[in-house]
Structure 1
């Protein structure tokens, strides 16, 4: 009797919940279980992806090529007009005369150089094209004329255009080895790449006789792309110190690997904030060669931070007057996860603005995988937690 009464009571309790409620609760439990299984599978996939990325980075770090120090220059004896390095040799050599008339045939010169410590990481294969051009310096008018630009032997790719970027560089006496300033620069029009690409343009620059001794003409051939950055194919450098006045020279030289030139230096401070997972970049000072009309020009800096090859939103400084010593004294905060601290890099770009569109003065990079000085600054920042570390870095262009 007691068992039967207990059974009746249980049966009465079960009658409080209808079948609809029972099936609803069961369906809700199944949905929660499926959601938990989905979250677990997603977390396992993320963990597997991070482990693969870590293995790839570990493998690449063992075989990667580190950039060399950017504060030194190598010198090499070259033909007096065509230079293959970023600094002209001080040894006096005899000039090779290639011709006196523009229409006279002249053989191409082959300039072999040693790898420059401030050149790009990607080497330029041999026999990847040549550049033909003519030079004329008129002493009466004190003008340098560059004309007859023609590119030959480039790899033929469909729907590609090439352009030539010309810079007139001058050596500047300074404690910085190899410091130069950009006197003037031009860019040719983009022409479709073919076997012999002729531009049909000429460029004129005012140049004094005394400035010829320390001037170098740099001509860089680039793949032109209006939607992204241009890819450099090679360069040719010409020393103007032994260029005869009022004599036309037709030169033809093979493209060499592109190199960077030191045009100034910038003082940066870095501070690591691991608690807030941020990094403080301090832009303190910059030393450059001001233009002739400095009052009409101003300079601002753009700071780009990349972590794990993902570029964060850039920040800009306030514009300052372009003088030989530019004082910014500004700090910028960027988020930096602690696990990705060694995969980050900082790029400082100085731009000159005025009546004309903005003009790039130079760039400086800091990071562990950069050159020796930049990597040393980065290591000091990692060791000096919550303490700013300042250091000068060269501006390259």
Structure 2
């Protein structure tokens, strides 16, 4: 009953309204009916994710935005560099055109200025250092053999060089002892010989099983004399040597320039045979220096394989033959393989130590990667070392490389003709 009375009152209120008020009231009621369900829907709607996932997505989006900004900055920098290089190239072309238009006067002046820059002490030092490293590398990779086996490849090089070496030799038959005293050197060249020392090797011919091979009996080294072209040493060396070995033994004295951080540069050498020594008689020598040569102390069997697809060269170390007097399992040797390409040395690799015998078997392979573009005119240096308690001693080195035009190298040519096939060959060990 009360509801009906309320409805009737509302109807009488609507009838009492004017038409304008009636239409405005109807419009407000309609908007209220339409908007109220939407507000209720948004208030009740919630995302099904936890807060940590919301923050994670937000952080990831921020990081992606930062990465995009960094990439955009890098690209802008590259574009700026390219535009700057293009401007410099255009400027250089304009300068060249102006030089040609001015009858070459400006060109001559710029040429003289560039010549002055090249003669700057800094650039002179860089050029001298590069030439020095090139000379050392050529010395190490030189294929010259011993003086007794010289084939005459270096005909144009004089046998004698500037300088003399003074020393004395005494042999005591009772004690079977050889005594060497190095007095000094005279008149050495002043270019590149500021720090000098003498390396001495007592050599003996190999047995009948290994003819033509030399064996190092003893090896000594004098003190280093600095800043002197006529150094005085006064070093004495002694060793036990049987009388029967005098006839096939010789002594080699090599003058070298000392380099603390690189290879020592040989300047010249003196060789003396010991078959003319007499008992208790001191023999004085003042010999002229000859060009440094190498002795054959063994052979190494090496295989080479060219792998052009993977841009690699495979070096196989198979066997090493030396003129060792006695074989002992206590004495061990190992090999060090290095690859040189365009005066750049790749990282060397070492073999496992093996007991020293007349023929030591290794059977190990080493892979070296060559940089692009692949150039197979590289050089492979095989160095054999003997292990001691105090360090190591170089036994010999073998250099494998492509020869100059007009020379023959069957091993290297066979490797290039037999792609992905190992080609093995014996090479002499030089020291």
TM-score (norm 1): 0.69
Of 338, 346, 355, the residue aligned with 1:321 is 355
2:337 equivalent to 1:303: yes
2:254 equivalent to 1:220: yes
**Which region of structure 1 is more displaced relative to structure 2, 156-165 or 302-311?**
156-165
- Residues 343, 158 of structure 1: CA spacing in aligned structure 2 closer, same or farther, 3 A cutoff? closer
Task: For residues 241-286 of structure 1, give each alpha carbon's deviation from its aligned partner in whole angstroms, at most 9, with x where no partner exists.
Answer: 1222221110110000000000000000000111111111100000
- 1:124 is displaced (CA, Å) by 6.1
Counterpart CA distance in 2 for 1:288 and 1:163 is: 28
Runs of 4+ in 1 over 6 A off after TM superposition: 27-32, 38-42, 118-122, 370-374
Contact 2:380–2:400 under 8 Å retained in 1: yes
2:213 equivalent to 1:191: no
Of 393, 396, 400, the residue aligned with 1:366 is 400
- 1:360 is displaced (CA, Å) by 0.2
Counterpart CA distance in 2 for 1:29 and 1:323 is: 63
Residue aligning to 2:416 = 382
- Residues 28, 337 of structure 1: CA spacing in aligned structure 2 closer, same or farther, 3 A cutoff? closer
Q: How does 1:206-355 map to 2 (within 5 A)?
A: 206-290=240-324, 292=326, 294-337=328-371, 339-355=373-389
Larger Rg: 2
Counterpart CA distance in 1 for 2:382 and 2:155 is: 19
Pairs aligned (count): 309
- Residues 28, 133 of structure 1: CA spacing in aligned structure 2 closer, same or farther, 3 A cutoff? closer
Counterpart CA distance in 2 for 1:312 and 1:38 is: 36
Counterpart CA distance in 2 for 1:274 and 1:39 is: 36
2:208 equivalent to 1:171: no
Task: For residues 198-217 of structure 1, give each alpha carbon's deviation from its aligned partner in whole angstroms, at most 9, with x where no partner exists.
Answer: 11111001111110010010
Find the residue that maps to 1:350 and give its secondary structure: strand
Contact 1:160–1:223 under 8 Å retained in 2: yes
- Residues 124, 353 of structure 1: CA spacing in aligned structure 2 closer, same or farther, 3 A cutoff? farther
- 1:197 is displaced (CA, Å) by 1.6
Of 154, 167, 186, the residue aligned with 1:152 is 186
- Residues 373, 299 of structure 1: CA spacing in aligned structure 2 closer, same or farther, 3 A cutoff? farther
- Residues 286, 118 of structure 1: CA spacing in aligned structure 2 closer, same or farther, 3 A cutoff? farther
Unaligned regions of 5+ residues in structure 2, if any?
1-72, 89-137
Contact 2:328–2:356 under 8 Å retained in 1: yes
Residue aligning to 2:27 = none
RMSD: 3.4
Task: For residues 206-247 of structure 1, give each alpha carbon's deviation from its aligned partner in whole angstroms, at most 9, with x where no partner exists.
Answer: 111110010010000111122221111100000011222221
- Structure with bigger helix share is 2
- Residues 224, 274 of structure 1: CA spacing in aligned structure 2 closer, same or farther, 3 A cutoff? same
Counterpart CA distance in 2 for 1:217 and 1:135 is: 10
Contact 1:366–1:375 under 8 Å retained in 2: no
